[in-house]
Chains A and B, each alone.
Chain A
């Protein structure tokens, strides 16, 4: 279900925004519009949607309009034209009081420089949104404490923000947004002001929290690695336009234009490319119930492979090597029971390539790729992995 739908939103700052939009539509460049009309184009005809429970990352360099765009969603900045639907409500049509109520109910926000209130304790910062809603003190305290515990800050509730480290301050910012129980969280460069190590921790924690909460999150970032790590989908912006949107892999493997390609060129492909995109179709499988060593070996010879995966009840059971199969034939075995190795390494469809490399190095069989139901979807062999990385890395 679509939680947020943005349709053709423009934001032009300056004396005559309407004129700016008109020129924009005629294809006049941002710089020319600024020079001729003194209007600054922030967001230029942007449309996208966010599904419920999804993390959408809006990414771009500074000046790309991403922060303006996210502020249009809760109308901290009023869009010049276009429609924004949040939870099926047309946000652009709300009056001041309705907007206030709407923000309380649906949209909480986490800010780049934390934006904590310096004169309030952690507890009172986290409880701010509830205080605004006139929630009674005892209940407010209880819910604020819950949020504080959720972000791991128990014991710091009476500190002032300035007494906390940057990472802890942003946890407070996160808790303040969580305490409100709104269904959508807007995160504006939420982790950009943090040290790299702490940033990475916070990203992990956000993902863990998200597993439990299933909120709809719009996350602004200028950091591609961050976007790839936490985004279910990514929208890439430049000069107020959306240049490309899609999953991390779609953007990396199939950049829409030169700008995107340049943007993504430094990414370590091995971290992003999943098993699914480097695996080969399994040529042949043995069936535990019906195949014996002889028929298994015949299948291997037929497909020119030196081992075969064994299937039972539609699930992957194990692996039989050609060597073991010949031994078994000599012994006179009629089933695969004794020669099937069941403790083999497997990976999921979305396992990144970087994690498959060591598995390949230490096992003497191809790595099977399984889906959730434990069915064999493909195999990764050294050649296919390297080819996949090389091909996408150099394009």
Chain B
């Protein structure tokens, strides 16, 4: 017996086809620009001798976290990556993460603010975020190809879609968590809406927002690996190749490289976010 099959997939396909037909020229142009941007960042990172880049990253990690432990871990970790001959792959992964995080934060923070300040926006955005976060990450890869083609830009698109929700959610949460009395105080002293936002709400929500950015970075890192399936290079590409060739050792080496990058980024962000918190609590 045949039951009428609701054409969910067909409809979505039709919508995407329609969008591709009418928007592809724009997205492809965007892809071209972004792609050359990525190439530029990667070649800038690859131009100086690795030891110089390592030292610069270490100095940066120390400067942001003010912790010698994190500095030490950074230099040792990067050295191990270089030693495993994953330097080039790591640099292209970093480039992908930096760009997709910048885009995700650029979209996420304004949307988070909007959701916090407008109840209507909140009601629209939250269910969309729920869907975005429960949808398997691989699914985002499919529409990325027709819009942006195989390679890094498609990877960035799917990475941004996958990693933007925590940034939106935690920005919104951070602002909503600002104690009511503080908001009242800002109002009572005659603040305009933007003065209230920039002088009171955002600074107080800062730690939570940074936690959101941190989560976005971590999700971006995991998605960048998956995005290797559509031709993104980097550490994910190494893992993907190792899977296809059953090179166990090589696969784990690339995996360790990803873990090291993740730990460095995570610790630096946590320290950076935590520092603001400490001055507030008067440690």
Which listed residue, B181, B191, B276, B281, touches A115 by the CB 8 Å rule? Answer: B181
Within 8 A of A (CB), among B182-206: 182, 184-185, 187-192, 195, 199-200, 203-204, 206
Q: Which of A3-11, A38-46, A53-61, A97-105 contacts B (4 or more CB under 8 A)?
A: A97-105
Encode contact with B along A342-384: 1 for CB under 8 Å, 0 otherwise.
Answer: 0000000000000000000000000000000000000000000
Q: Report the Cα distance A161→B204, complex, angstroms.
A: 13
- The answer on a CB contact under 8 Å between A162 and B185 is no
What string of 1s and 0s marks CB contacts (under 8 Å) between B155-194 and chain A?
0000000000000000000000001011011011111100
A111 at the interface (CB under 8 A from B): yes
Q: Give the residue among A118, A129, A180 with the most B Cβ atoms within 10 A.
A: A118
Contacts of B189 in A (CB 8 A): 103-104, 108-109, 128-129, 132, 176, 180
**Residues of A within 8 A of B (CB-CB), count:** 30
Of the residues B182, B188, B199, B280, contact of A109 by C-beta under 8 Å: B188
Query: Taking the nearest CB of chain B, how far is it from the CB of A171, in angstroms?
Result: 15
Q: How far is the CA of A129 from the CA of B181 in the complex (A)?
A: 16
From A74, A111, A159, A160, contact of B280 by CB (8 A) = A160
Q: Are A100 and B188 touching (Cβ within 8 A)?
A: no
CB distance from B195 to the nearest CB of A (A): 6
- B-side contacts of A160, CB under 8 Å: 279-280, 282
The 10 closest A-B pairs by CB, nearest first: A104-B190, A162-B282, A163-B282, A115-B185, A115-B181, A109-B188, A129-B189, A103-B190, A118-B280, A119-B203
| A110 to B190 Cα, complex, angstroms | 14
Q: Shortest distance in angstroms between B271's beta carbon and chain A's nearest beta carbon?
A: 18
Find out whether the CB atom of B279 lies under 8 angstroms from the CB atom of A115: no
Contact partners of A200 in chain B: CB under 8 A? none
- For residue B276, which residue of chain A has the nearest CB? A119
Cβ–Cβ < 8 Å partners of B181 in chain A: 111-113, 115
Q: Are A115 and B179 in contact (CB under 8 A)?
A: yes
Query: Is the Cβ of A162 less than 8 Å from the Cβ of B190?
Result: no
Q: Which residues of B contact A103 (CB under 8 A)?
A: 187-190
CA distance A161 to B182 in the complex (A): 13
Would you list 27 pairs from A and B whose C-beta atoms are within 8 A, ordered by A residue? Answer: A71-B184, A76-B188, A100-B192, A101-B190, A103-B187, A103-B189, A104-B189, A107-B188, A109-B188, A109-B189, A111-B185, A112-B181, A113-B179, A117-B204, A118-B280, A119-B203, A119-B204, A129-B189, A132-B191, A132-B192, A132-B195, A132-B199, A159-B282, A160-B282, A162-B281, A162-B282, A186-B188
Interface residue ranges, A against B (CB under 8 Å): 71, 74, 76, 100-101, 103-104, 107-109, 111-113, 115, 117-119, 128-129, 131-133, 159-163, 176, 180, 186
CA distance A159 to B283 in the complex (A): 12
Smallest distance from the beta carbon of A215 to chain B beta carbons, Å? 15
**Who on chain A is nearest to B207 by CB?**
A119
Chain A: minimal CB distance from B99 (Å): 30
User: A74 and B282: CB pair below 8 A?
Assistant: no
Task: Give the complex CA separation of A103 and B185 in angstroms.
Answer: 11
Bound together, the chains give a CA A153 to CA B200 distance in angstroms of 23
Given contacts A104-B190, A117-B200, whether A76 and B279 have CB atoms under 8 Å apart is no
Closest chain A residue to B280, Cβ basis: A118
Residue with the highest number of chain B CB atoms closer than 10 Å, among A132, A161, A186: A132
Given contacts A107-B188, A112-B181, A117-B200, 13 further A-B contacts (CB under 8 A): A76-B184, A76-B188, A100-B190, A101-B190, A103-B189, A104-B190, A113-B181, A115-B184, A132-B190, A160-B279, A160-B282, A162-B282, A180-B189
Query: Chain B contacts of A109 at CB under 8 A?
Result: 184-185, 188-189
Contacts of B188 in A (CB 8 A): 74, 76, 103, 107-109, 186
Which one of B182, B190, B204 contacts A133 once the chains associate, using CB atoms below 8 Å? B190
A180 to B282 alpha-carbon distance, docked (Å): 27
Interchain nearest-CB distance for B201 vs A (Å): 10
Q: How far is the CA of A180 from the CA of B188 in the complex (A)?
A: 12
Chain B min CB distance to A374 (Å): 45
Shortest Cβ distance from residue B160 to the other chain A in the assembled complex, whole angstroms: 30
Q: How far is the CB of A231 from chain B (nearest CB, A)?
A: 22
Q: Fill in one digit per residue for B206-224: 1 if any A CB lies within 8 Å of its CB, else 0.
A: 1000000000000000000
CB of A157 to closest CB in B, whole Å: 15
> Bound state CA distance, A48 and B182, in angstroms?
28
> When chains A and B are docked, how far (Å) is the Cα of A103 from the Cα of B181?
16
Partner of A111, one of B184, B190, B204: B184
